[in-house]
Each structure stands twice: as structure tokens, then as C-alpha cells.
Structure 1
Amino acid sequence: MPYSSRPLPSHLRHVSNTSNFTLSGQSPKLLARIERKKLELANLKQLRDLSASLAQQMQSLEEKLATLTDGTEAVATVLSNWQYVLQAINMASNAVNNPKNETEDNTLAPSELALPQTLVRIPTENARELQRSMG
């Protein structure tokens, strides 16, 4: 079916003319709406950036909390062992205070009493150097 060469009715031409006018002249309502949408877009972009920053901070916080949890478990282990350490110190102290051979101890001066084996050895050779490096 060939296209007819009849002219368009006037009401159709009017609509096309009006749409050309709004595109070229852009009504104030349309401009206001465009500005609102641009502002909304800028706010959404800012929200996206802030959300990404917050997510990154939460990830960092999660890693720090995991480290803190590991450290807390280590401290709990050490503290649970303190009971045994204190018992060992108490047994060593009791052995010094209650010697097996009382006759030998009466003849010895208090400074010559046998002391228990050293429980903890702390190197003191480098203590001053360590204090200087840390202080």
C-alpha cells in the first residue's frame, strides 16, 4: 500500500508543533523537575560513596575485633594457667620453710639455707639496653 501524499490533519500537526516548542523552549515545570532529579542523583551518589566508606570501616572493625578475640583467648589461657603457677610457687615456698632435715638446718645460718630451683629465669644482661630502646 503506497503512502498517500495527503497532508496531515491540523490536530496532529499542532501536537507535533507543541512538542517541538517544549523541546526547544523547555517549560519551567520540566526544567524544575530536571533540576530536582539532578539534585536527587547527586544525593544518591553521595549516599553511595558514604555507604561504601561505612562498609570499608565496618570491614576494618571486623578485622580488629577478630584480632581482639584472638588476644582475649590468649589472655584467658594465660590467666587460667596462673592458678598452677601460684601453686608451684606455693609448693616451692613451703619446701623452703619446712625443710626435710631439721638438724642440718639448725646448724646453717639463714643465708645458707638451700633455696628452691629458680622457677623463672629473667635475663638481666641486656635489661638496660632494652629499657633504653623501649623508653
Structure 2
Amino acid sequence: MAYSSRPTSMLPGAPGGSSMRQPSGSQSQQSSALSARIAAKKAELENLRQLRDLSGTLATQMQALENKVSTLKEGTEAVAYVLSNWDNVLRAITLASKKASGLHAPLAESESKNVGNEPSLPATLVRIPAEPREKTGE
């Protein structure tokens, strides 16, 4: 019996084993499939980075929007507070007008005779018409 000078092994990872030999066409197919998979993963990574950047921008914009909405809310609360007190302001003006016209009653009566029965109103108060005036070309 002649022994061969080449070592042979039946272990799967051993060099020179006939079970691990693959044709060169199959190896190039695996290489191209692996390259395609790596390229796909790189594209996916780039898309994820863009998504992260856009998400960060969106989060910043949402924070700015939250600040603006809270400012708007505070302004709305201030307007609501003023409007809730508006009736009290009008009552105070009316009360002050009545009190002031009562203090100047003798002067008001003498002026009302001259003007045509219109009571004199205090000059220090501002009058806001409750009904819209007709446009007179002003």
C-alpha cells in the first residue's frame, strides 16, 4: 500500500478537505450577495441618520411651538380676566358719573335750561357710546 504524501483530513474546516471546496462561481455569487446586503444596510443606516436628524429638528420646532402656545394661553387668560371685570368697570363709571353729576347739580340745572333739557355730564370722564353712531363723514 502506498501512502500519499498529502495530508487529508475529514474535519470540516481543515484545509485541503474535499468537502469544503466550492466552485469559483458560487463564491462570487456569495460575494456579490454579501456586497448587495452591505450596500442595502448602508442605505438603511443613512436613512436612519436622516430620520434622526429630521426628528431632532421636529422636536426643536415642537418645543418652540409649545412656548408660543403657552404665551398665547397666558395672554388669553389675561384677556379673559379683563373681560370678566368689564361689567364692574362699566358699573364703576356709571356710579362715578351719577355721583359727579349730583355734585354739580346746580350748575347742571342752569346749563340744561340753556341747552334744551340735556343734563351736564362731568368733563373728566370718558364716554363710550353704547350704540353705533351713524356715519357723518368724519
Contiguous gaps of at least 5 residues in structure 1: 1-6, 121-135
Measured after TM superposition, the shift of residue 90 of structure 1 is 2.3
1:51-130 alignment, distance < 5 Å: 51-95=55-99, 99=102, 105-108=108-111, 109-110=114-115, 115-116=121-122, 118-119=124-125
Measured after TM superposition, the shift of residue 104 of structure 1 is 5.5
Indicate the residue corresponding to 1:29 in structure 2. 33
Superposition RMSD in Å: 3.6
Which SS does the other structure have where 1:12 is aligned?
A: coil
User: Hey, what's the Cα distance between the residues in 1 that align with 2:125 and 2:40?
Assistant: 77
Measured after TM superposition, the shift of residue 76 of structure 1 is 1.2
| Count of paired positions | 108
Per-residue deviation, residues 44-74 of structure 1 (Å, max 9, x unmatched): 0011001101110111111111111111111
TM-score by length of 2: 0.59
User: Hey, what's the Cα distance between the residues in 1 that align with 2:108 and 2:55?
Assistant: 76
Contiguous gaps of at least 5 residues in structure 2: 1-6, 127-138
TM-score by length of 1: 0.60
User: Hey, what's the Cα distance between the residues in 2 that align with 1:119 and 1:39?
Assistant: 75
Q: Which has the higher contact order (CA 8 A, sep 6+)?
A: 1
Per-residue deviation, residues 1-44 of structure 1 (Å, max 9, x unmatched): xxxxxx673761158x97xx8xxx67111011001101100110
Question: Identity across aligned pairs (percent)?
Answer: 48
Q: Give the AA of the match of 1:12.
A: A
Per-residue deviation, residues 94-135 of structure 1 (Å, max 9, x unmatched): 456x74786664333449x65437346xxxxxxxxxxxxxxx
